[in-house]
Amino acid sequence: MRRRTILTALAVALAPAAGTLLAPTDAVPAPEPIDLHETFAARYAATRAAMDAAGPPYEGRDGQFLLFEPPGGPHRGRVAEVFGDLGTARRIAVLVPGAGNRADNYWRGVASRPYRSPSRQGRDLHDATGGATAVVVWLGYDTPAGIDVSAFREDLARAGAAALERFVRALTTACPQATVALLGHSYGGTVIGLAARNLPPAVTDLVVFGCPGTGAATVRGLGTTARVWAALSPHDPMRFVPGVRIGGLGHGRQPAGPAFGARVIPAETVLDHDRYLTPGTDAQQAVARVAAHGDQR
């Protein structure tokens, strides 16, 4: 019965966003942390089978995948990949990619640049934490196609935030032993900001980097008790984005600015907008410490 409860929570809430929505939190019994290895293994096997059936570039991919939906219709495809062991992890980091990412460039990277691959970034981050933190790369929403009008609107971010809330609640239901850090690059940080006030208490840290705005003017405006961290490279053109919200455009104050009130993560050695999680950068090292510990020890 308890194993069936865990499987049900996962199947319902980790389904693609176009499918069934998660029931209210109080309608999902809190499961005990038992037999999670078998539970997640079953989910990974089912998702790999769906990927194989979809053909290139998805078939034959190694890895652990909680979610997969190929592009089709209005959707750009969805992927959630796990690095590490969710069944035993005491700490989980969920990485939310930004604009330009979609299922069919998830492995090769936006514009075929490998360092922009969410899969590679997730693996590198897992390595940087020493392997003790489970890392989930969550591309579970439709991102803006690029730096266009849709990237300056909140429509896609609000839909992404609702999907992220469902996903995180499912994850914390299935992994009650773990605390969670959410990490958002660029528009992914906007998604996290809009989700912040509805996240479960297990989420202790929100980290945004290269983010144009979170939809709030200050940390207090996010409505969360989680620690909030922000990074912005001096080489990132995002620093020129006006911190305004006018007529449905804009995402509010730059979260790495002093007026916002976030804890600052260094990013002096980040060369551009896309290399915050490149191994060896000061930003990746700091993000990894927050992902692993909730501080910068």
Q: Tell me the per-residue pLDDT of 112-132, one tens digit each, with 9 for 90 and over.
A: 999 999 999 999 999 999 998
Both ends of the chain: CA-CA distance in Å? 41
Tokens of 69: 């939906």
**If you average pLDDT over residues 211-235, what whole number do you get?**
95
Closest CA to 256 of 277, 271, 280, 234: 234
Residue with structure tokens 């479960």? 200
**If you average pLDDT over residues 269-291, what whole number do you get?**
96
Least confident of 19-23, 103-107, 230-234, 261-265: 19-23
Residue 22 pLDDT > 50: no
Cis previous bond, 258, omega within 30: no
Tokens of 12: 């319902």
pLDDT for 97 = 97
pLDDT for 38 = 73
Residue-wise pLDDT tens digits, 51-88: 999 999 999 999 999 999 999 877 889 999 999 999 99
pTM of this structure: 0.86
pLDDT for 25 = 35
Tell me what percent of the residues of the chain surpass a pLDDT of 70. Answer: 80
d(CA 5, CA 1): 6
**If you average pLDDT over residues 220-224, what whole number do you get?**
97
* Three-state secondary structure readout of 52-118: HHHCCCCCCCCCEEEEEECCECCECCEEEEEECCCCCCCEEEEEECCCCCCHHHCCCCHHHCHHHCH
Most confident of 87-91, 250-254, 293-297: 87-91
Tokens of 118: 């969410």
* CB 57 within 8 Å of CB 117: no
